[in-house]
Chains A and B, each alone.
Chain A
Amino acid sequence: MRVSEQQIGDEWSSAGQVGQALRHRREQIAQRWADTPLFRTVFTVSRDEAVEACKAVLDALAEVAEAGRVEDVDAPGFFVVREQLARMSASRARTGLSPAQIAGEVAALRSSAVEHLTAEFEQEPAAVVHGALLALTMLMGTLRLVVMETALSDGAELINRQRQQLLEVATPVIKLWDGVVAVPLIGTLDSARSQVVMESLLEAIVAQQAQYAILDITGVPTVDSLVAQHLMKTVAAARLMGAECVVSGVRPAIAQTIVQLGLDLGGVVTRATLADALAFALRGLGVGFGPTSHQGVVAR
């Protein structure tokens, strides 16, 4: 590898030299890295797979260095390997490693890179070697930051995904009759949950060809204006699709709160119990039905 004398001491060119050196020693460094726990324990199918993964990271590092952005965690060169790094850190995290420990494993990659770079720059003046090593150190530090960042956001992503799954599990849509579906809501209704409830109920209306949909709030501890708003949105969306939505399980205490808060459930059909709501729906469908003690009045 040739280095022009004039460029000595120039930080930009040091980075460029590191980039070239990394490409030049790509095979050797990759072979060394493939045996480190960070790669070996993640890419377990074959050693070749680990070596390939190492090469991908090396190529990214070389690109970042050549672009003169050794200190920039957002250098475009990193984008290609971000997903791979995220997968690696996630896989290490699953074995119980903390983000700091994972970062430590990334830092450990530096020594073999330094060795090969020193060998690469053997013939060069001390100033060139010094500049190159400094650039390499910064570059490896940046890589560590990138991995740290993906490890942390990966955790956040996982929590989000689990929350989403929990939401879906917590809102089953039940078919009560031909053309009648119901969702028993249990627990606090927040925006995310309401969104899932609305979507699953509307999907069920289509799937079951349901003309009536019942939202049972027996298990909802309190109804504030936000919950009321969510209920009304769901009712309005069901109506647009051509189904009628009934809110049941309005306990006396909740009815009282709704009145006291001055909430307007404008035109929403409400019933005291799920049974009353079903009776209302069946009457609407013209299903033969004996008299009950608890028939409500249609509040349109």
Chain B
Amino acid sequence: MTEQPGWLPQAHVPVLRLDDVLLVAIQGDLRDENAERLQYDVLQHIADSPATGVVIDISSVEVVDSFLGRVLAEIAAGAELLAARTVVAGMRPTVAITLVELGLTLTGLRTALDVQSALRMLREHPAPAAREHGERGAYDYDRS
């Protein structure tokens, strides 16, 4: 990771761990390179030590274009393969309107109003790996 000058809104997105949930807060504008790096980091974290959920807080993000939209969808799909659920939290109304107009409805993505609701959602509908029966799909909370 190269050092970024100070004017950059966010160079590197840290991944925090709260028990078995990974918390990622994207602040401000993100460079493509760092978005892809985040995708790698999250999956690496899950692989390193199992997590049942990932919460991506985008309440500070002012613009989500199709690139960042794809990255979010791919993080969710990748995490799913590693038996963790991803919830994207706090999308701004302006961003939601723009994405819909853009044609990017991200139907497979789980969403929540804020981090708190996201954590609650993960608690109430845990990932298959966290359930004792381990049967996929029994509680599948799919909004699409």
Contact = CB atoms under 8 A, between A and B. Distances in A.
A199 B117 contact: no
Contact residues of B: prevailing secondary structure: mixed
B111 A239 contact: yes
A240 B113 contact: no
B96 A240 contact: yes
Which size bracket describes the interface of B in this complex?
Answer: 20 to 34
Interface string B83-99: 00000111111011101
Interface in B106-125: 106-107, 109, 111-114, 117-118
A241 B93 contact: yes
Contacts, number: 60
B113 A233 contact: no
Given A199-B93, A202-B93, A267-B144, A240 B114 contact: no
Contacts of A198: 97
B113 A241 contact: yes
A170 to B, nearest CB: 19
A209 B114 contact: yes
B97 A199 contact: yes
A28 B93 CA distance: 57
Which size bracket describes the interface of A in this complex?
Answer: 20 to 34
Contacts of B101: 233
Among B107, B111, B113, B118, the one with the most A-chain Cβ atoms within 10 Å of its Cβ is B113
B93 A242 contact: no
A178 interface: no
A239 B93 contact: no
A242 B97 contact: no
A237 interface: yes
Contacts of B91: 240-242
Contacts of A267: 107, 144
B143 interface: yes
Interface of B: 88-93, 95-97, 99-101, 105-107, 109, 111-114, 117-118, 143-144
